[in-house]
Amino acid sequence: MNARLDYFGNPVGGKFMKSIISAGKALIGSPLPITIQELVRMRASQINGCAVCLDMHTKEAAAAGESAVRINLVAAWREATVFSDAERAALEVTEQACRVADGGGVTDEAWANAARHFDEDQLAALVGVIALINAFNRVNAIVQNPAGDYRVGQFT
């Protein structure tokens, strides 16, 4: 399988990707725990059908110490007992944010629940992580980048 376009190799696409990668660097060191960031990236990538990002973030999560059980249960987080209330709140906001067209966006109830677990800086980081992974998911889905060969730390 080949991508429709070498987006990184294209002058316009490459410039755009460098810009959104730079935006992602603003989240490094944010007070939102990396485990939650990776869970959010994985769930958004599952919803959006982005194999490239799912490949990347499952491997990054594992390298950061996330268990195989939790990685494998992200898609069924509601029925799984391995996620904290804070993680569940972040995953709920993620799902609603990824499905804006299906239900009108993030509900006040989901946001209030997240606000019980996260301070404003963490919420700002959560919004940034969700927005950014959705951008990456869409680029990869549009150009049909193939997945499977990501190496941990490849883009750092």
* Whole-structure pTM value: 0.93
Per residue in 76-119, pLDDT tens? 999 999 999 999 999 999 999 999 888 789 999 999 999 999 99
DSSP string, 16-78: HHHHHHHHHHTTTT-SS-HHHHHHHHHHHHHHHT-HHHHHHHHHHHHHTT--HHHHHHGGGGG
What domains lie within the chain, and their CATH numbers?
11-143 (1.20.1290.10)
pLDDT in tens, 3-57: 899 888 999 999 999 999 999 888 988 999 999 999 999 999 999 999 999 999 9
